[in-house]
Amino acid sequence: MQIGNKARIIKDIKGKGHNTDEIIYKKGRIYALSDKIIVIEYIKQGHPTYRESFNIADVIENKVMIEVFINGEWVQVTKQHFKI
């Protein structure tokens, strides 16, 4: 997992203001990495639109699923990818 790799984010939003479950799919690139945080930059029509950071706790608790495109295949990010 390196800066610049393609990333897919899958978030499950449950009951925030409405009674339906909603799954959101987003695509972007890894903008920054640290021991406990990953920052994804979303791009629209070739220009960066915004950045979103995810904590390792969100990944461990499966609130957010992050997949990274490495060597021609999508790999799911787990707590082993972070240095704890």
Instruction: Please report, for the domain that includes residue 73, its CATH number.
Output: 2.30.30
Domain count of the fold of the chain: 1
Q: What per-residue confidence (pLDDT) applies to 73? A: 92
Query: Taking the chain, what is the end-to-end CA distance rounded to the nearest angstrom?
Result: 16
Reported as a single tens digit per residue, the pLDDT across 11-69 is 877 655 656 667 777 889 999 988 888 899 998 888 888 999 988 888 888 788 889 99
In a domain, 50, yes or no: yes
Helix (H) or strand (E) holding 1: none
Bigger pLDDT: 77 or 16? 77
- Per the document, the length of the chain is 84
- What pLDDT, on the 0 to 100 scale, is given for residue 61? 81
- Residue 83: pLDDT over 70: no
Task: Identify the helix (H) or strand (E) that includes residue 4.
Answer: none
Over the Cα atoms of the chain, what is R_g?
13
Question: Is the residue at 83 inside a domain?
Answer: no
For residues 72 and 43, give the distance between their C-alpha atoms in angstroms, rounded to a whole number. 20
Residue 1 forms part of a structural domain: no
Do the domain assignments include residue 26?
yes
